[in-house]
Amino acid sequence: MDKMLVDGSSGIETPAAVIAEAVQGEGGLNVATAEWLQKLEKVCRKHDMLLIIDDIQAGNGRTGQFFSFEQAGIKPDMVTVSKSLSGYGLPMALVLFHRDLDAWAPGEHNGTFRGNNMAFVTARAAIETYWKDESFANEVKQKSEILGTKLQAICDQYGAENFQRKGRGMMQGIACRDGELADDISKQAFKKGLIIETAGPDDEVVKCLMPLTISEEDLTKGLDLLTESVADVMKDDMSQAS
């Protein structure tokens, strides 16, 4: 990106901003390294571009810390947050930005369905309850380790040619060799009472996105069902291959 921006013959004009996810959600649980994010921030500063982090899915503690980019030590100009922000499944989305970017003209920033009052109440309660100290973040870390261990066991059992663990925190999953395999696993899990989605360019990633407040007992139960579903599908897969 930097080379293209400094090359006058590239045909690329300097963008007003760059939008990135520290952990891609629908993109397939791809994790941006701290080094990559830091370099991206430097490029943005060098070329006077705003750095926007989309934390709608990866934020609000999903990756361990409240914001997904915290461990990289970067300071984005804007952050988008939503999804679990309301703490109660109510519609709420916020755009956080530096005060020097607050340049709206009168009547420029408006909408029909703005300001759900109940969502503001529940969002405040959630933040004051779960983020008053490090206790909740530590719980998320412990559950993340359980999730990662279970998923890695699946990958180890069937080999890297079939599965690879992806993601970070409570936003992890397994990348299957193709979208068809991931779809079969999702369907088999549904038969067992477990709803689990797929993500990625070819829907090849089975994505675990459970509530952060889930108990370790329920988390383990759900992951056991996923393990059983993978076993059922792989058994059929191997029988067809033979």
pLDDT attached to residue 165: 98
State the alpha helices, DSSP H only, in the chain: 2-6, 34-46, 117-130, 135-158, 179-191, 216-241
Q: How far is CA 205 from CA 163, 170, 193, in A?
A: 9, 15, 19
d(CA 118, CA 199): 31
Q: What is the pLDDT of residues 114-129, one digit of tens each?
A: 888 999 999 999 999 9
pLDDT attached to residue 242: 58
Chain-centroid distance, C-alpha 203: 15
d(CA 188, CA 194): 9
CB-based burial label for 179 (10 Å; 0-12, 13-18, 19+): middle
Q: Please tell me the pTM assigned to this model.
A: 0.89
Domain ranges, ordered by start, for the chain: 1-131, 134-241
- Range 134-241 has CATH code 3.90.1150.10: yes
Q: Which CATH architecture has domain 1-131?
A: 3-Layer(aba) Sandwich (3.40)
pLDDT attached to residue 89: 87
**Is there a shared CATH topology between the 1-131 domain and the 134-241 domain?**
no
d(CA 7, CA 29): 32
78: left (phi over 0), alpha (psi -120 to 50) or beta: beta
10-residue mean pLDDT profile of the chain (242 residues): values are 86 93 96 97 96 96 95 96 90 92 82 85 94 94 98 97 97 97 98 97 97 96 98 83 62
Chain-centroid distance, C-alpha 137: 16
Helix (H, G, I), strand (E, B) or coil at 165: strand
pLDDT attached to residue 111: 78
pLDDT attached to residue 96: 95
Short-list 106, 118, 33, CA closest to 68: 33
